Amino acid sequence: MTALANPASAAVRRAPPVQAASEPSLVLTFQLGGELFAITIRTIKEIIEYRRPTEVPAMPAAVLGVINLRGAVVPVMDLQLRLGRAPATVGRRTCIVIVEIADGDDAQTVGVVVDAVSEVLEIPHEDIEPPPSFGARVAAEFIAGMGKVRGRFVILLDVARVLAVGAVAETPAALS
């Protein structure tokens, strides 16, 4: 992951967390189906090389299975399928981003498959637009905002909504 080269940006840009748009926080950007997405770095535990999950019977289609992460069983989700897209294809840069989301008083650890990790950025609050009301290829309830970075948009995901355990079973069918 590389920081931005623009010294005026203090090597990193600013982006708001989902909870408080006025507070800047770092985001991890990644590629998914040819588009640039981001999630707040505060939810990320680590990034690991892709390994094929062990399939678990009767799981929703978006849940690929589980992996053993230092003795812990971690479910792994196909983020593309979760967003209503075609299943992810595994390439040489494919990795699993391990995230931790609040689940009441507890925290849930989930791995999400992404095509490639790009970089860590801070996107200034003034460069964040609200989610589009139509036209996005991602369900609007999953989008925390649209960040402008170097002349293109980054889709800022609301990771808590995307990975909500109860909602995963309701994953939309993949688009053809």
Per-residue pLDDT of the chain (176 residues; tens, 9 = 90+): 444 333 333 333 333 344 444 555 689 999 998 899 999 999 999 999 999 999 999 999 999 999 999 999 999 999 999 988 899 999 999 999 999 988 778 889 999 999 999 999 998 888 888 887 765 556 678 888 999 888 889 999 999 889 875 555 554 444 43
* Partners of 63 in the β-ladder: 77
Please name every residue paired with 27 in a beta bridge, in sequence order, or none if there are none: 40, 121
Tell me which residue of 46, 66, 47 sits closest to 56, measured CA to CA.
66
Annotated domain spans of the chain: 7-168
Looking at domain 7-168, its CATH class is: mainly beta
This prediction has a pTM of: 0.77
- Whose structure tokens read 């990771």? 159
